[in-house]
Amino acid sequence: MTSMVSNRSASTLWIMLLTLVSTVATLALACATPYAALAALAATRMRLRDGVLLMAAAWGASQAVGFCVLGYPHRTSTFLWGAVLGLAAIAGVVAARFAAQRIPARHGAVTLAIALIVATIAIKAVVLIGALNLGGVAITLSPSLTFQSFVRNAAFLIGLVGVYHLARRVGVPAPALRAASV
């Protein structure tokens, strides 16, 4: 039971730490939250449940920044786009986790790269479905914007991996990767 509490505490700590880092990035990037990078790291370093909680927390923080700091308009379409992004963030981590579990080398750069690519595709697919209903298909499918977003997420993932390893070196316990057996 002690290790279960320890795993929960470590996972909660990581969810809080990565949400904080995500919030700072959201502020710095004017609300371009790096969901794909967060999803790739969560998919390879956390339990799926914790990854989903991280994505929900990062999404909530992003929405708070958008509405409270950046002055998002309080329109139905803005709220609907927020919901689409929340669903996209969760789809990203679920898809990335599915892909990462099928790669033999579970902790390597290849696994992270594939998780990032799969998360990007899943997020883009959900956003495209939203765009079909809310408008913005051309922007969603723009190759240059997609490339810029991917590069930004790749750079952010490199930074997140650095934060992860630095935190581990100073004694922060790793989040639970598998569900604890009871």
Instruction: Give average pLDDT by consecutive 10-residue segment, the chain, 182 residues.
Output: 60 92 85 91 95 96 90 93 97 97 80 96 97 94 94 95 93 77 32
pLDDT of residue 10: 86
Residue found under tokens 């598998």: 178
- The token duo for 89 is 């963030």
Whole-number pLDDT of residue 182: 30
Q: How far is CA 89 from CA 34, 59, 62, 83, 115, in A?
A: 9, 7, 11, 10, 13
pLDDT at residue number 27: 86
Per-residue pLDDT, 107: 62
Q: Say what the pLDDT of residue 134 is.
A: 96
Q: At what angle do helices 35-45 and 143-169 cross, to 10 degrees?
A: 40
* CA dihedral (38, 41, 44, 50) positive or negative: negative
Instruction: Identify the pLDDT of residue 2.
Output: 39
pLDDT in the model for residue 64 = 92
What is the end-to-end Cα distance of the chain in Å, rounded? 8
| Model-wide pTM > 0.85 | yes
What does the pLDDT read at residue 54? 96
The domain segmentation of the chain, as residue ranges, is 2-169
What's the pLDDT at 4?
46
